[in-house]
Amino acid sequence: MRSSGPLSVAIIGLGPRGLSVLERLILRLRARGGTPVTIWAVDPVEHGSGRVWRSGQPEWLAANATAGELTAHSPDNPLLPGDEPYSLAEWSANQLAPDEYPSRARYGTYLHEFFQRLCRLAPEGVCVRPILGRAIGLFRAAQGLRLRIDDGGPDLHVDKAVLTTGHSALEPDETELAFRRHADRHGLRCLGPGIAAELPLDEIPAGGTVAVRGLGLTFYDVVRSLTTGRGGRFERDADRTLRYHASGREPHIVAGSRSGLPFLARAQVHRPELAPNPVLLTEERVAALRARATAERGSPKLDFAAEVEPLLWAEVEHAYYRCTLRLRDGHGAVEAFTEAFGATADDAGELDPRRKGKVLAAFGLGDVPPLRPELLARPFAGRTFGSPVEFRAELRRLLAEDVETSKLGPEGSPVKAALEMMRTLRPALPGIVDFGGLLPKSQEDFLTRFAPANFLLSAGPPVEHVEQLVSLVDAGLVEVAGPRAQFSCGDGCFAVESPDVAGSRREARVLLDARAPAPDLSRDRDPLLRQLLADGMISEYVNVDPATGERFATGGLAVTDSPFHVLDARGEADPDLYALGVVTQNTRWFTQVGTGRPGQDSPFRRDADAIAQDVLGEAA
């Protein structure tokens, strides 16, 4: 039951997701007018930008999307200053080129300014009240909810609350605790996990060795912080080779991961109009797969590896061969090829390898070296190296090749065309995997095998960051241990080595965890989420196959479909409490996305608008 006074709404977490909910509330309230509403905007770091994008972080920490792709505005926002779309590039008054990767701080400034603008645009009777503090409790009240902030003030009484809390830390697991105990006994340091801007990287001594777990985006941030951030600089030789000039304040970085391969560069897209549209992984084929699964297994849940992934990789192959054909024969040849390739799968999603072979032969592509998806993300699988020097030479070759193909872009490189297709297909996957769309074991496989490989290949840093990494490897400041890297407690030190690279063992006095933690609601350290879980007001989403009873505890917060009411411990939807974004990861997938695209509608906007509509009690 809500109070009889003006509607009171709390948005808890004012990063991009919370900002989008605020925008949709303001736009709806302006459209209808005369409705008194108080909106409490709660964030512990900075309103609009939140923790990840806050404006005060170092300039060398960059976004992995371009200024022309980033926007805080809905495409139907009538309040834009000038012509739509209003991207970060346009906001910067041409100081940022559309294809330039901005610093996170610059994007954070843009988001914070947009928040301030929304506050000014609130219609009469609507008050946006910012609170710079952490929400630490949310309780049932006689009417509505009671919200507690860590500023020591009285609890706030609200009718509705939206959880858009973003990334938060987890309680350490047994491995992490063992590393920390070892560090305490021997005077060592354990850092992370976390975002680079918050880690005490200044405490890593110059000239020492730091062992880094993980080779993803945080790894790149750490490397830049410990090199460029310590006064080093990159310059090109006369032959255009990039060289690193050390400041003398850098540590030696030894890193590793399961694959042994750092995230590959995102391709530079020069002509987006040349990108092919999906021709095999269509909504109609997915619907046919679900119908068949229901008939055969008694449940529409899919086996991703067996039923969906073949279509996805076929799409990737199509982009690869299409680019090869266009580069050889010109634009006129590709449309007929696309039509023929699309017919290599029937309406039910079954692929016909013989038909594909005939199509490739008919277009003169039969002798083109095939794309081998299993080697893209695991190029060192099954290989051994006689020395670190041997492994380093192979790693350097792969990274240098990645730099060159990334500069060519998906228009000039068949491999990058294939990987860009992976990126293009990513928005289609939530409709397949969200809310238990996969069998329980298949969802676990998707999250632990496919998703990491997908990010490694298609969600990488700007190409200049990979080129800089090559120069740091050349300078001897960064070393990758090798595939299947193992981190352990040594004799008064930490050790990292690869069982596939002879002589790769290295010792360090600092261990830094640069991995992105998987969601785990039961281990989440956020005080608000811990209280809500303990009180039974929220619950973890468990994927259950009704046909077999098989279960997979996802670690994500359970919510309904749109408008995303939380589900309590009894599995009942709470009409006053919503959740969106990272906190729901694994219930939904790819919730880390922090923006829509300028001028384009997207699930990012639609999700926020659905919550705003429900909060205001408006009919769909």
Q: Which among 454, 264, 306, 287 has a CA at the least distance from the CA of 373? A: 454
399 touches 255 (CB < 8 A): no
126, 319, 464 from 33: Cα distances, Å: 9, 49, 49
Exposed/middle/buried for 95, CB within 10 Å: 0-12, 13-18, 19+? exposed
The contacts found for 140-147 with CB under 8 angstroms, 24 or more apart, are 140/537, 142/1, 143/1, 143/2, 143/3, 144/1, 144/2, 144/3, 144/8, 144/576, 145/10, 145/576, 145/577, 147/10, 147/12, 147/40, 147/42
Bigger pLDDT: 81 or 251?
Answer: 251
Q: Look at residue 2 in the predicted model and tell me its pLDDT.
A: 46
User: Which among 160, 135, 155 has a CA at the least distance from the CA of 528?
Assistant: 135
Angle at which helices 16-32 and 104-121 pack, to 10 degrees? 20
Q: How confident is the prediction for the chain on average, in pLDDT?
A: 94
SS3 labels along 93-147: CCCCCCCCCCEHHHHHHHHHHHHHHHHHHCCCCEEEEEEECCEEEEEECCCCEEE
Q: Worst-scoring range by mean pLDDT, 46-60, 119-133, 198-212, 337-351?
A: 337-351
* Interior/surface letters 351-363, b for 16+ CB within 10 angstroms, e for the rest: eeeeebeebbeeb
More confident call, 372 vs 388: 388
- DSSP-assigned letter for residue 214: -
- For 153, residues 6+ apart whose C-beta sits below 8 A from its C-beta are none
Please state at what angle helix 463-474 crosses helix 388-412, rounded to 10 degrees: 160
What's the pLDDT tens digit per position in 98-116? 999 999 999 999 999 999 9
Q: Prior bond to 85 cis, omega within 30?
A: yes
Percent of the chain past pLDDT 90, that is, above it, reads: 86
Q: Give me the pLDDT at residue 33, please.
A: 82
Tokens of 119: 């506050």
- The answer to whether 541 touches 587, Cβ cutoff 8 Å, is yes
Q: Is 163 helix (H, G, I), strand (E, B) or coil?
A: strand
> What's the rounded Cα separation, in Å, for the pair 75 and 20?
12
pLDDT of residue 82 exceeding 80, the answer is no
Q: What angle separates helix 388-412 from helix 414-425, to the nearest 10 degrees?
A: 80
Q: Is 546 exposed, middle or buried (0-12, 13-18, 19+ CB in 10 A)?
A: exposed
pLDDT band at 274 (very low <50, low <70, confident <90, very high): confident
What distance in Å separates the CA atoms of residue 7 and residue 414, rounded to the nearest whole number?
55
CATH 3.50.50.60 in the chain, residue ranges: 7-169+520-615
User: 255-271 burial by CB neighbour count: b if 16+ within 10 A, else e?
Assistant: bbbebbbbbbbbbbbee
Q: Do residues 579 and 557 touch, judged by C-beta distance below 8 A?
A: yes
In terms of C-beta density within 10 A (0-12 exposed, 13-18 middle, 19 or more buried), how is residue 417 classed?
buried
Cα–Cα dist 582/557, whole Å: 9
pLDDT at 328 over 80: yes
Q: Coil, strand, or helix at residue 467?
A: helix
Q: If you classify domain 174-263+461-492+507-513 with CATH, what class do you get?
A: alpha beta
| CA dist., res. 72 & res. 77, Å (int) | 10
What is the maximum span of the chain, computed from C-alpha positions, in angstroms? 75
One DSSP character per residue, 65-95 reads S-TTT--SS-TT-TT-SSSSP--HHHHTTTS
Give the 3-state secondary structure of residue 444: helix
When pLDDT is cut at 50, 70 and 90, the band that residue 85 belongs to is: low
Instruction: For residues 311-334, give the mean pLDDT.
Output: 94
Q: Which percentage of the chain shows pLDDT scores above 70?
A: 98
Strands 486-489 and 494-497: antiparallel
pLDDT at 594 over 80: no
Over residues 273-281, the mean pLDDT reads: 85
Residue 475 CB neighbours (<10 A) = 15
Average pLDDT over residues 401-416: 96
Q: Which two tokens stand for residue 256?
A: 């590793």
Q: What is the pLDDT of residue 201?
A: 97
Stretch 173-186: mean pLDDT, rounded?
97
Q: Is 83's pLDDT higher than 60?
A: no
CATH topology of domain 7-169+520-615: FAD/NAD(P)-binding domain (3.50.50)
pLDDT at 80: 60
Tell me which residue of 274, 299, 373, 247 sits closest to 544, measured CA to CA: 299
pTM for the structure as a whole: 0.94
Q: Looking at residues 292-316, what average pLDDT do you find?
A: 96
Contacts of 261 (CB under 8 A, 6+ apart): 215, 377, 378, 379, 380, 395, 398, 456, 483
Residues 260 and 427: their CA atoms lie apart, in Å, by: 27
**When comparing pLDDT for 594 and 128, which is higher?**
128
